[in-house]
Chains A and B, each alone.
Chain A
Amino acid sequence: MVDLTRKFDVLVIGGGNAALCAAISARRAGASVLVLEGAPKFYRGGNTRHTRNMRCAHDSATDILTGPYTEEEFWNDLLVVTGGQTDEELAKFMIRESKDILGWVVEQGVRWQPSLGGTLSLGRTNSFFLGGGRAMLNALYLTAEKLGVDILYDAEVLDLEIDNGMFLSAALKQGDGRADVRASALVAAAGGFEANIEWLREYWGEAADNFLIRGTPYNRGSILKMLLAKGVQEIGDPTQCHAVAIDARAPKFDGGIITRHDSVVFGIVVNNHAQRFYDEGEDIWPKRYAIWGRLVAAQPDQIAYIIFDSTVVTSFMPTLFPPIAGESIAELAAKLELDPAALEKTVADFNAAVQPGTFDHTILDDCRTEGVTPAKTHWARRIETAPYLAYPVRPGITFTYLGTRVNKQSRMLMKDGKPAANMFAAGEIMAGNVLGKGYAAGIGMTIGSVFGRVAGREAAKNAKN
């Protein structure tokens, strides 16, 4: 049993990668640490459950990385994906620290492996967790427990007592009542609000009701909301979230990675009026897959259909849900409850516009359309071999960008610009500092581990003074 009457040196709220790195680093610095994870034990870890790799800079190839990935290259990649919406000082600090993190997490029990089958494009830049994100979490929890970190599950925090930038206590739900948990320093690592449909509805309206959430239902952003309400400076566009197109048959929450679709570039995408709405061949898929969630969110009823034919089935990863099939376009349309004549016309117009070319999905090839709007600028091939196939897709929300402003110590900044006395933030809850928009695979885990480790260390130091 955890003694909640004592005053802890460091209270960590959250239970994912950032929270555990903070807890371990604070404990290793000599602090007493309590972790409050809002989810039950099985669902612990927030979005970390579904991750599989981390992007860290390294100057040479390693056992599991095929080549060097320099700080400059990492910085340039970050500039590209964020369109410059990043805090340069913090971002460069994170990138520098990421080099050391590769070895540090191994010391905490995490194991690496080379990039997984089907992810060769990340083999040089990203280190993969052996056994995936939950295996990584399990290792961190075992280490934290061994070090003597106290951990509570199903630990819902109802309120934070903060006085002028100084954290005093957290009100922990206990049955019908509450217990005040006191600590000398706070690390908030409780993620974003992607599972909070009501909050999403504030920005997206009723469309939000049709969103699927890729992670657990526990990512409700309640800690973020409390902090912002109590004077912490916010960062990141509150209206934005990272959304990809996932299978419409996926569960409302926690479908994870296996509901994604990589087949957009091999076919066309239509809305429920059977009309195309965007260039499916704009760029190499990993660079573009994250725009499709928002594109589908803008369509009527937030649904779309990837349409392809039987010649390309083996070109992408096997999928959890089988494609819906029809012997003719009209039959397929009927199964999808689309207007058969409209879909037949869309496919016929597209097929007629396809120009001759040499197909190569690994490069921006010369297979394109002419005379159809929108154009498909690469990998355009006629859809003409039965059976015709389709995946229904909806927006799958991964994470949100709104967060708390921090400095290089991972210390929160208050609305007046002053650093908080004893409050730190790590992980998705402050990712917006570095990642104003966009995404690059594995960068969420980099933010979590780097700032988690820093926050834990600084919080421990803070608690001792």
Chain B
Amino acid sequence: MHGTRILEEADRLMTVCNSCRYCEGLCAVFPAMEMRRSFSDGDLNYLANLCHSCGACYTDCQFSPPHEFNVNVPQTLAIARNESYAAYAWPRAFSGAFARNGLAISVIAALSVAAFIFGFAAFTDRQVLLGIHTGPGAFYQLMPHNAMAALFGAAFLYAIAALIMGVRAFWRDIGEPVGMKTDAKSLLQAIRDAGELRYLDGGGVGCFNEDDKPTDRRKIYHHLTFYGFALCFAATCVATLYHYLFAREAPYAWWDLPVVLGTLGGIGLLIGPVGLLAEKWKRDPVLVDEARMGMDVAFIAMLFLTGLTGIALLLWRDTAAMGPLLALHLGVVFALFVTMPYGKFVHGIYRFVALVRYARERQMMGHV
């Protein structure tokens, strides 16, 4: 017996799949399944998070609907995966944020942006807010650097702490001892697998999205989004180092490292999310957890807005629009940080952890 109806269904499917095994070469889910003969809740959550939702096993399955065996692994694991995010959320009281995630994220984002605009307006006078500021320290006319660093540092640390608690619960549930150090080899393997989205490729031909023709579009858009986000994050880190180590204050010239990284990342965050959203729109509903589309859309929208407001700030930072744009950008980024543990962002974390576990398992089984 399992904790939820969807885990019951996942168990039924894994029993069907384990007696077939035709999909074994498509991804990591099926080899991991073959290492088991029965499935605990934790095992199923592990398999659900290992699934990259490429859809190949649905298109290739001789038992997918309308067959009476009704085997739909991508959709079942998508629902199980989304339910697992709520189950592992910390603190438990916030797991409800996953229920109507699109709404929750939108409200938090709006409040955050409003707070920054209100805050700027309250703490600086009108002339400063709508004035033209250039040169080093221009941003800090509106909000002192230390205040900015403290606020975002706190938000970021909170997100990290909440994510760690979630991962801890997941790690424990999938049967790994919490205190155990994972070996460097599995970690490196997982970094490689995640970095190249090895399992988002239908076993080599590409993912299935709107029909039975495989394509690499989702993978490409995801790379743009992920590496765009990573570059933006790197830009922030470099800028922080500039500030504290070299006492060089933002804004920086267009050729300077933080701006170059941020611009490239920002472009990725503009194209990637739009592409992902377009693919999501077209995607065959039979493959997705339709009830939780809001969560996916909210996260994609937040990433897009982060990129958009950042680029807008870069383009118009020398004008009177800088103040409002800065408030907008900081508001969006702040909301992105604080909602990280309670939205689609966690998919990357849990999937990575599942990949680490998979690499370990394969090693232990002597496959590598």
Contact = CB atoms under 8 A, between A and B. Distances in A.
Interface of A: 42, 49-50, 52, 111, 113-114, 116-118, 128-135, 138, 142, 251, 254, 256-258, 314, 317-320
Interface stretch (B57-65, B124-132, B242-250, B336-344): B57-65
Interface string B1-35: 00000000000000110111111111000010010
Contacts of A114: 25
A256 B213 CA distance: 25
Contacts of B15: 318, 320
B23 A132 contact: yes
B67 A254 contact: yes
A130 B25 contact: yes
Given A251-B68, A319-B19, A256 B63 contact: yes
B110 interface: no
Interface string B194-219: 00000000011100000011000000
B332 interface: no
A317 B25 contact: no
A118 B30 CA distance: 13
Which 4 A-B pairs rank lowest in CB-CB distance, beginning with the nearest?
A132-B22, A131-B60, A113-B25, A135-B60
5 contacts: A128-B25, A131-B56, A134-B61, A317-B18, A318-B18
B214 to A, nearest CB: 9
A107 to B, nearest CB: 15
B62 A134 contact: yes
A396 B62 CA distance: 17
B204 A318 contact: no
Contacts of B20: 132, 256-258
A113 B37 CA distance: 23
Contacts of B144: none
B66 interface: yes
Contact of A131 (B22, B66, B69): B22
A446 B26 CA distance: 23
Contacts of B23: 131-132
Given A117-B24, A314-B37, A318-B15, A130 B203 contact: yes
Given A111-B203, A134-B60, A318 B22 contact: no
Interface string B110-128: 0000000000000000000
A275 to B, nearest CB: 29
Contacts of B212: 138, 142
A142 B213 CA distance: 8
Contacts of B19: 258, 317-320
Nearest to B61: A134
B173 to A, nearest CB: 23
Given A52-B22, A320-B15, A130 B204 contact: yes
Interface in B167-223: 203-205, 212-213
A106 to B, nearest CB: 12
Contacts of B203: 111, 130-131
Contacts of A116: 21-22, 24-25
Given A52-B22, A134-B59, A318-B37, 8 more contacts: A131-B22, A132-B61, A134-B61, A258-B16, A258-B20, A314-B37, A317-B19, A318-B15
A256 B21 CA distance: 12
How many B residues touch the partner, as a band? Answer: 20 to 34
Given A257-B20, A314-B37, A320-B15, A131 B25 contact: yes
A111 B204 contact: yes
B119 to A, nearest CB: 55
Interface string B41-63: 00000000000000011011111
Interface string B82-111: 000000000000000000000000000000
A118 B17 CA distance: 13
Contact of A256 (B25, B62, B204): B62
Contacts of A49: 62
Interface in B258-295: none
A257 B62 CA distance: 10
B34 A117 contact: yes
Nearest to A109: B205
Nearest to A128: B25
A317 B213 CA distance: 32
A49 B16 CA distance: 16
Contacts of A256: 20, 62-63
Nearest to B25: A113
Contacts of B57: 131
A328 B74 CA distance: 41
Nearest to A40: B66
Contacts of B21: 116-118, 317
A283 to B, nearest CB: 23
Given A111-B204, A118-B21, A132 B62 contact: yes
Nearest to B204: A111
Nearest to A111: B204
Contacts of A132: 20, 22-23, 60-62
Nearest to B68: A251
A251 B31 CA distance: 27
Contacts of A50: 62
Contacts of B60: 131-132, 134-135, 138
Contacts of B24: 113, 116-117
Nearest to A41: B212
A318 B20 CA distance: 9
Contacts of A134: 22, 59-62
Contacts of B67: 42, 254
Contacts of B16: 258, 320
A130 B62 contact: no
A42 B56 contact: no
Nearest to B12: A320
A318 B36 CA distance: 9
A12 B23 CA distance: 30
A129 B25 CA distance: 9
Interface string B316-345: 000000000000000000000000000000
A42 B204 CA distance: 23
A6 to B, nearest CB: 27
A138 B69 CA distance: 20
B205 A111 contact: yes
A138 B22 CA distance: 14
Nearest to A145: B213
Q: Which of A50, A116, A130 has the most CB of B within 10 A?
A: A130
Contact of B59 (A118, A138, A254): A138
Q: Which of B23, B56, B63 has the most CB of A within 10 A?
A: B63
